Every structure is written in structure tokens, then in C-alpha cells.
């Protein structure tokens, strides 16, 4: 059924299904940044337009850190997502991590004017309010990579480095070669996703929340969209609460998910494949991490992106799928590559130039 395929596509390609929770270790010292009038469990910062963004922290205390990193979660996820680097490595490197709820997710307010630029602006403002300094690192995951691309385009001078982990590909990017995408069923599914979130949103909401027929859930182990390694992760990971029927009954939650899809897969104000190197003096670096067996974002498309943008450092995980953030070795390699410039031989791409 078309609706079921659309839902599976949305929760797989658009995000990270069911992220395990990690404990928050630090609280902000800037009490004035937290809205204490609302019953929330996490610290929040107030943006210039009056919205609040919630966040949590990991790693060493901010004032003692050498590296400050903002992690951008994917579709249907939240600040509770896992980034499976060990506490020992974070301590050794002196890393302070901020994982925040993007607009409309978790405990962050909805942005009715969400756009590519607003996502980059939220990240920049979050960094300023938390006093992360003039330059900071960004790690985007899956659909959370479109805010990271926007940062590269709109605020490159603020970035000490960027890692795009299993970044989704927008089939509307003009310079994608036809021979790579013409037979890709994902392209047609993306068209349906955009259409139904724009014009059939009520029907989609009914389908996801009705109880007459079984609808696709986040743990729908469809091998069409997930490789064996991903299916193992899904099998052993509880589903994220936004994807339960009760969670999706909240229309504001549902509408926020739809707006995220529309911005990500809609028409962009720039084409990432036409970006020039914003760091010609190697003052920062940009990385892409891709699983060779990823069935959500085909490795062939990611290889094309890396060839079009040779200034990006491209890494491949030979047996990896879409859920690379569940792999401790990969997460730690992402950090050491981004922060220290290391190039792990086991993650070097082996395709022909």
C-alpha cells in the first residue's frame, strides 16, 4: 500500500528510528536562559524571536573543554539521540557536546517559518547563547544534515569543522546525474512524500493514528529500506515516542514532522553540489560518512557528491548501513577525524576515481 511505503520511507530515510537515551551530565549555569514558567525537564535557551530551544550536554564541562560540538538530530528523533562515542574518549579529547531539540521537536518550540536559513540561524544563536565561542563544530545526522549544509552555506566563518553522517540526498538538487536517479524508486517516493505532506496531510494523519488497519511503525523491519546491520539495531532498540500512535495524535507534533520533510525535500535556495570550498586555507574541514550498505541513501549517490565536492573528506564504512551512530567505532572515528585530522584506513573509500 502506498501510504505504508511512504511512512516506512519517511521514518527510515528521514531520520534515525528509535534512538536510545543517554544521561545528561551537565546543566547550564546561565539560569536566565531557561524558561522556568514551563514544566520542562531540560535547560532551554530563548531565541531572538521568542522561541525556546531545549538541549542537553555530554562530555567535559564547557569551561574546561578544548572542542565544542553541536549535534543535529534527524527526522523523528530528539536531543535524546545517541552518539555512541565513549565518555572516556570525550574526556581524553576534551570534548563538550550539545545535542538540541530542533524546532518543533521534543521540548523546543515550533517554528512556523522553518526554512534552510532558520535552521542555520537556530544553530548559530544556540552557540552564541551558550557562549561556545567564535567558532564551533557541527555534526549532522541523516535528515539533520540539511541544517548542517545550510551552516556551510550561510555561516561558514563560524564553523571549526563539520561532519555529515549518512546525509540524505535531495533529489531536487539540479546537478544530480539522470543516470544515477532515473531508476531510483526513492526519487518517486520522495515526490509522494512531498505531495502527501502538502495536500494529503489529513489523510496521512488519520492513517498513522487510526486503529482499524495496521499502519507502519518505526520498527517496521522492511528489508527494502534497511540492511541487515540496521535491522539488528531496530530489533534491539525501542521505538522513539514520536512514532507511536499516541505521540502522533498530537497534531502539532505531526505538523512539525511534516514541515521538516517539506523543507528538507523541497526546493533549496542553493545547490550543495555547486558549493565552492569555503576553507581554501584549510582553516576548517568538512567530512561525509557513508555506509556502503545503506539502503536509505545509496552509496552511489554519496560517492557522486564526494566527487563533485573534492574538498570534502569522504569516508565509507564497508559493512555499515544508515544507522552509523549506533556504532561506537564509527562515532569515535568521526570525532578523531573531525577534531584531529586522522584518516582511519579502515574507513577510506575503495571505489575507483
Q: What pLDDT score does 220 carry?
A: 52
Q: Report yes or no on 33 lying in a domain.
A: no
Q: Report yes or no on 6 lying in a domain.
A: no
- β partners of residue 253: none
Q: In what order do the strands lie in the sheet with 159-165?
A: 44-46, 52-59, 95-100, 67-72, 136-141, 159-165, 286-291, 313-317
Of all residues in the chain, the percent with pLDDT exceeding 70 is 82
Q: Report yes or no on 12 lying in a domain.
A: no
Q: Report yes or no on 23 lying in a domain.
A: no
Mean model confidence pLDDT for the chain: 84
Across 77-82, average pLDDT: 89
Q: Report yes or no on 16 lying in a domain.
A: no
Which are the contacts of 125, defined by CB distance < 8 A and separation ≥ 6? 45, 47, 48
Which are the contacts of 27, defined by CB distance < 8 A and separation ≥ 6? 43, 57
Please report which confidence band the pLDDT of residue 15 belongs to, taking 50, 70 and 90 as the band edges: very low
pLDDT of residue 209 exceeding 80 = no
pLDDT tens per residue across span 136-194: 999 999 999 999 999 999 999 999 999 999 999 999 998 899 888 888 878 877 888 88
Q: What pLDDT score does 39 carry?
A: 63
Instruction: Please give the residue range of the domain that contains residue 130.
Output: 41-347
Q: Report yes or no on 21 lying in a domain.
A: no
pLDDT tens per residue across span 105-140: 989 999 999 999 999 999 999 999 999 999 999 999
How many domains is the chain partitioned into structurally? 1
Q: Report yes or no on 28 lying in a domain.
A: no
Of all residues in the chain, the percent with pLDDT exceeding 90 is 60
Say if strands 52-59 and 95-100 run parallel, antiparallel, or are unpaired: antiparallel
pLDDT of residue 14 exceeding 50 = no
Q: What pLDDT score does 21 carry?
A: 43
pLDDT tens per residue across span 258-278: 999 999 999 999 999 999 999
Contact of 288 with 220, CB cutoff 8 Å = no
Please report which confidence band the pLDDT of residue 243 belongs to, taking 50, 70 and 90 as the band edges: low
Rounded CA gap, 296 and 329, in Å?
21
Q: Is 75 or 33 the better-scoring residue by pLDDT?
A: 75
Candidate from 130-144, 197-211, 223-237, 238-252 with smallest mean pLDDT: 238-252
* Cα distances (angstroms) measured from residue 174 to each of 119, 130, 181, 189, 234: 22, 37, 12, 18, 34
pLDDT of residue 99 exceeding 90 = yes
Contact of 215 with 244, CB cutoff 8 Å = no
Q: Which of 95, 114, 140, 96 is nearest to 47 (CA)?
A: 114
Q: What pLDDT score does 214 carry?
A: 56
Q: What pLDDT score does 76 carry?
A: 83
Q: Report yes or no on 14 lying in a domain.
A: no
Scanning the structure block, which residue is given the C-alpha cell 565561542?
A: 133
- β partners of residue 159: 136
Q: What pLDDT score does 301 carry?
A: 94
Candidate from 174-183, 206-215, 303-312, 341-350 with smallest mean pLDDT: 206-215
CATH of the domain at 155: 3.40.50.1820
Rounded CA gap, 339 and 132, in Å?
16
Amino acid at each position: 500500500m502506498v501510504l505504508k511505503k511512504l511512512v516506512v520511507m519517511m521514518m527510515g530515510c528521514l531520520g534515525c528510528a528509535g534512538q536510545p537515551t543517554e544521561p545528561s551530565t551537565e546543566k547550564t549555569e546561565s539560569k536566565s536562559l531557561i524558561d522556568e514558567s514551563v514544566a520542562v525537564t531540560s535547560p532551554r535557551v530563548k531565541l531572538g524571536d521568542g522561541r525556546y530551544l531545549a538541549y542537553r550536554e555530554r562530555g567535559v564541562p564547557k569551561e574546561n573543554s578544548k572542542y565544542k560540538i553541536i549535534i543535529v538530530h534527524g527526522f523523528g528523533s530528539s536531543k535524546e539521540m545517541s552518539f555512541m562515542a565513549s565518555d572516556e574518549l570525550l574526556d581524553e579529547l576534551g570534548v563538550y557536546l550539545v545535542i538540541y531539540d530542533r524546532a518543533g521537536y521534543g521540548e523546543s518550540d515550533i517554528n512556523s517559518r522553518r526554512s534552510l536559513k532558520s535552521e542555520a540561524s537556530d544553530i548559530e544563536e544556540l552557540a552564541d547563547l551558550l557562549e561556545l565561542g567564535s567558532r564551533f563544530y557541527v555534526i549532522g545526522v541523516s535528515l539533520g544534515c540539511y541544517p548542517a549544509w545550510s551552516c556551510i552555506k550561510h555561516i561558514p566563518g563560524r564553523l571549526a569543522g563539520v561532519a555529515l553522517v549518512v546525509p540524505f540526498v535531495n533529489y531536487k538538487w539540479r546537478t544530480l546525474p539522470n543516470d544515477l536517479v532515473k531508476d531510483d524508486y526513492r526519487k518517486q517516493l520522495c515526490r509522494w512524500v512531498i505531495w502527501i505532506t502538502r495536500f494529503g496531510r489529513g489523510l496521512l494523519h488519520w492513517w498513522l493514528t487510526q486503529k482499524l488497519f495496521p499502519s507502519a511503525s518505526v520498527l517496521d523491519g522492511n528489508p527494502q529500506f534497511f540492511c541487515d546491520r540496521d535491522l539488528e539495531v531496530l530489533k534491539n532498540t525501542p521505538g522513539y515516542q514520536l512514532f507511536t500512535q499516541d505521540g502522533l495524535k498530537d497534531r502539532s507534533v505531526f505538523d512539525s514532522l511534516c514541515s521538516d520533510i517539506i523543507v528538507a525535500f523541497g526546493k533549496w535556495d542553493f545547490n550543495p553540489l555547486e558549493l565552492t570550498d569555503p576553507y581554501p586555507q584549510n582553516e576548517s574541514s568538512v567530512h561525509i560518512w557513508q555506509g556502503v550498505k545503506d539502503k536509505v541513501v545509496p552509496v552511489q549517490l554519496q560517492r557522486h557528491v564526494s566527487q563533485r565536492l573534492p574538498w570534502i573528506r569522504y569516508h565509507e564504512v564497508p559493512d555499515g548501513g544508515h544507522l552509523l551512530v549506533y556504532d561506537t567505532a564509527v562515532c569515535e572515528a568521526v570525532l578523531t577525524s573531525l577534531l584531529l585530522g586522522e584518516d582511519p584506513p579502515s574507513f577510506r573509500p575503495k571505489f575507483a576515481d
